[in-house]
Amino acid sequence: MLKIYNTLTGKKEIFKPIVEGKVGMYVCGNTVYDFCHIGHARAMISFDVISRFIRHLGYDLTYIRNITDVDDKIIKRAEENNESTQALTERMIAAQREDELALGNKMPDREPKATEFMQEIIDMVSILVEKGFAYQGASGDVYYRAAKFKDYGKLNNRKLEDMLAGARIEVEAAKEHPADFVLWKRAKEGEVAWDSPWGKGRPGWHIECSAMSTSCLGSHFDIHGGGPDLKFPHHENEIAQSEAATGKDYVNYWMHCGAVRVNNEKMSKSLGNFFTVRDVLAKFNPEVIRYLMVSSQYRSPIDYSDQSLQEAKVALERLYTALRQQSVADSYEPTEFTERFENAMKDDFNTAVAVSVLFELVRELNKAKTESPAMAPKLAAELRVLADLLGLLGQEPEYFLQNSTISEGLSETAIQTLIDERAQARKDKNFARSDEIRDELARQGIELLDSREGTTWTRH
């Protein structure tokens, strides 16, 4: 049975979908005003793996992940760039998809944009106003009455007063209570805006997700996910809005992935340790980044550093080396490795244990190559299938081993030319020149491996 750690209850629970055999999952996506950073990559990859395994278990999954394409940060960045908000968001959405595909993610079933659900947002705010959960302040903005929702704070297991203590709360004269938050913002002159019963404006951040999730999955659905920084206030506010508007429970299982820290510090542009996905892709094969992310269970924090990436590269090279020049069977009978892998994943998607099972399978595969050659292709097939559930081993082994890092050194053509020259030198018994070429390539980070089939190489 699949068990999921539920942030709402603070414990692992046996997963029971609302509708047998079907799963609705909504994950908070990005505000598209800049390129994706490695923290975004953690959430993207985590929920991609979760969606793959849920489908592997036979569930009919509908995976929704929103795009916030109207926001104060977007408006500010568009003004700085002297471009329209639409031009900026379209450019950033395209860049995000490029990054995700490079990282090996499968796209969600649907990616609703906030600007496409403006009527649904306005309708939900109207219901909240009618029910007395919202009001229009003197500023023209519409606020949610946090204190009126009796269960406010249940996701974070804290009372409203406790959450306010020490927190930076935006206090405005137009608010009735410091914890009240904006549902609809009155637009300033020249800003992008939509007509509403409260004047021209745009939605607050929190209401977007409530409207989009319930529109796509219904007022009550199975799983809601996101990054660790969204628990409060974003997800707490989503619950308050949605349950007040519909009168129903909102979500059964809340899931939050762990944070990414850089050299044991919080990632921040001011600290100079802020890395976009594109920064890292310029140095490492995308699967190295993915391996780093799945080598820890999704709720665990990850420390990102050059050393951690190097360790991920070396570990992934071990997996690919086992498949190098190894035939892969078209079919196989699952062994104990599949059972152990699946059991790890059923325990709250414990990819760390699942990855350790892959390495045990590799050891068995390497042993079978000499002791049971007929079994090796089947074990290789099993390795490929299990690794694919994590989005790993999707490249040809030779290609990955030659491109695990992005080097500005020798080109593949230049490397092959030297290998061919070395082969001729060995044929001519010019072993001094042969050794010179090997040493020269080693200095360039190229390791040669000689076998009966010829010479292959790996870049380090």
Helix then strand then coil, in percent of the chain rounded to 5, is: 50, 15, 35
Nearest Cα residue to 35 out of 272, 276, 261: 276
**CA distance linking residue 122 with residue 69, whole number of Å:** 16
Please report, to the nearest 10 degrees, the dihedral formed by the alpha carbons of residues 123, 129, 132, 135 taken in order: 150
Report residue 248 as tokens. 């129903």
Tokens representing 40 are: 């975004």
Task: Spell out the residues 6+ positions from residue 329 whose beta carbon is closer than 8 angstroms to its own.
Answer: 377, 378, 380, 381
Task: Say which DSSP state 270 is in.
Answer: G
Of residues 328, 327, 316, the one with CA closest to residue 401? 316
Q: Is 28 annotated as a binding residue?
A: yes
- Alpha-carbon span 98 to 276, nearest angstrom: 13
Rounded CA-CA distance 59/21 in Å is 5
- Is 234 annotated to bind a ligand? Reply is yes
Q: Where are the beta strands (DSSP E) in 8-125?
A: 11-14, 22-27, 60-65
Any known ligand binding at 209?
Answer: yes
> How far does Cα 178 stand from its chain's mean position?
33
Determine whether the annotation assigns residue 269 to a binding site. Answer: yes
Taking the C-alpha atoms of residue 85 and residue 193, their distance in angstroms, rounded to an integer, is: 11
* SS3 call for 22: strand
Q: Do residues 267 and 225 make contact, with C-beta atoms less than 8 angstroms apart?
A: no
How far apart are the C-alpha atoms of 139 and 293, rounded to whole Å? 44
Does the annotation list 36 as a binding residue?
no
End-to-end CA distance of the chain: give it in Å, rounded.
Answer: 42
Residue 428, classed as helix, strand or coil, is: coil
Binding positions for ATP are: 269
Binding positions are: 28, 209, 234, 238, 269
Binding positions for Zn(2+) are: 28, 209, 234, 238
